[in-house]
Structure 1
Amino acid sequence: MINIDWQKVGTLVPAIVQEKDTNEVLMLAYMNEEALSLSLKTGFAHYFSRTKNRIWKKGEESGNTQKIHSIKLDCDSDTLLLNVTQNGGIACHTGAKSCFFTEILDDDFKTSNTNQENYRPKYNILDELYHVILDRKLNADAQNSYVASLFKKGENAILKKIGEEATELALAIKDATKNNQDEQTKSDVVYECADLLFHSLVALSLHNIHPERVLNELSRRFGLSGIEEKNQRNVK
């Protein structure tokens, strides 16, 4: 029987995931009590995403699910070890077999990266963009990456771009109205809206907020009148 002090772990217990045949460490994730219960009930790994702020089944989008063979609890009752079959052979969203492919210290005391698989699992475009932006934020050279250059300039530069893109979108919409919504001006509206959304994702990643949390908020509001939703905000 698994006895976890959920208060001690702040409601989230780390879960180390190993491949059944090789014992290779594939990833580190987190489970809350519900995610653990779903994992035990279904036999497939479920985790709690701290960025998406929800429970997710591993492979729910990519199809690379994890069939659980065993779950062990460590001596302090605050870490789980999962032994799984990694369906599809890919655990990492980058397309790599394991999430641990970046070497900080190798035999020559040099920093290096191993080659990732050419195949990348399919995720929705917002999730893909968000992870690319995070990668640029952490690893890219500001001389070669537009996103990295924004992060280097700081929050004010990112917010300024959002303001500029919002203005350009508003002007494009006005032009579409003026030109009776012809296809060219409609395309301009789409283009400017994409720019605004992209820079909004950059701002979200500045604070490690996954875009799915925004989608969840829209889902929460669905069916509420605008007046009712605003009134709810004012309730302390």
Structure 2
Amino acid sequence: MQIDFQKSADGLVPAIIQDPATNKVLMLGYMNQEALDKTLAEKKVTFFSRSKNRLWTKGEESGNFLLLQDIKIDCDHDTLLIKANPVGPVCHTGADTCWDEQNVSNDFLAKLESVITDRKNNPSEKSYTSQLFARGINKMAQKVGEEAVEVVIEAKDNNDNLFLNESADLLFHYLILLQAKGFQLADVIAVLKERHK
């Protein structure tokens, strides 16, 4: 990314933080090159704090991190749009956003993807999802294959409950595999939309 940090006297560019699941703007911070590099390396959004005069990773004290999903640069190369999954409230006041708005999605799949992202970036030994990520891509792909076979088997029978449960298992494991490959359901939907033209 060719970001023009020299446009401002202090070498900082605005970084607008947006939730990829809800499209809500969560907060505004400022970044210099070092903050951007740390964000890219650690996948946790880091700013240059003007009040502390140092790098500041959002959530370093509260645990309410912003987990990096994507970064875009504007047409003038002096403002960043960062899509990040929030872990907890974003504002220091305890609000979901710095504009005291609720950051709620009615899209359950988006919420589920956000949980999967969190389990990927913040592994827990107690989390089944984290354990799948730890086993590696081959085991995840194998699990998707197993679940697909179970869906086919249940489709041939007349037990709708079993069919739906196996379908849910397949979708869940597929979402995990997508993230392991660096994608989300939106990327697959984009391909379908392109084919539909």
Classify the TM-score, shorter chain.
0.5 to 0.7
Unaligned runs of 5+ in 2: 4-12, 18-25, 31-67, 97-101
Distance 2:167 2:70 in 1: 23
SS at match of 1:97: coil
1:80 equivalenced with 2:54 (yes/no): no
Aligned residue type for 1:211: L
Distance in 2 (CA, whole Å) between partners of 1:79 and 1:197 is 39
Q: Which amino acid is 1:80 matched to?
A: T
The aligned length equals 136
Task: Calculate the TM-score normalised by the size of structure 2.
Answer: 0.55
TM-score by length of 1: 0.46
> CA distance change for structure 1 residues 78 and 202 in 2, over 3 Å: closer, same or farther?
same
**1:153 maps to which of 135, 141, 150:** 135
Q: Which residue of 2 aligns with 1:124?
A: 107
Which structure's CA Rg is the greater one? 1
Over the aligned positions, Cα root-mean-square deviation in angstroms equals 4.1
What is the SS of the residue equivalent to 1:16? strand
Contact kept, 8 Å, 2:14 with 2:28, in 1: the verdict is no
Aligned-partner residue type, residue 28 of structure 2: L
Question: d(CA) in 2 for partners of 1:134 and 1:27?
Answer: 22
The answer as to whether partners of 1:147 and 1:202 remain within 8 angstroms in 2 is: yes
Identity %: 30
Q: CA deviation at 1:95?
A: 5.6
Shift of 1:186: 1.5
CA contact (8 A) 1:27 1:92 kept: no
Give the Cα–Cα distance (whole angstroms) in 2 for the partners of residues 187 and 93 of structure 1.
34
Q: CA deviation at 1:17?
A: 3.2
Distance 1:215 1:171 in 2: 26
CA distance in 2, matches of 1:162, 1:222: 26
Instruction: Give deviations 1:61-87, integer Å, cap 9, x for gaps.
Output: xxxxxxxxxx9x9xxx632279xxxxx
Q: Secondary structure at the match of 2:157?
A: helix
Change in 2 beyond 3 A, CA 1:168/1:146: same
> Is contact 1:52–1:211 with CA below 8 Å preserved after alignment?
no
Amino acid at match of 1:164: E
Distance 1:214 1:161 in 2: 19
Shift of 1:122: 1.6
Answer yes or no: is the 8 Å Cα contact 1:165–1:195 preserved in 2.
yes
Could you tell me whether the CA contact under 8 Å between 2:178 and 2:184 is conserved in 1? yes
Q: How many Å apart are 1:207 and its aligned residue? A: 2.1
The match for 2:117 among 117, 134, 159 is 134
Give the residue type in structure 2 aligned to 1:78. Answer: H
- Using the alignment, how far apart are the partners of 1:213 and 1:165 within structure 2? 22
* Local SS of the residue matching 1:175: coil
Gap regions ≥5 residues in structure 1: 1-6, 19-23, 29-49, 55-70, 83-90, 102-113, 177-184, 224-236
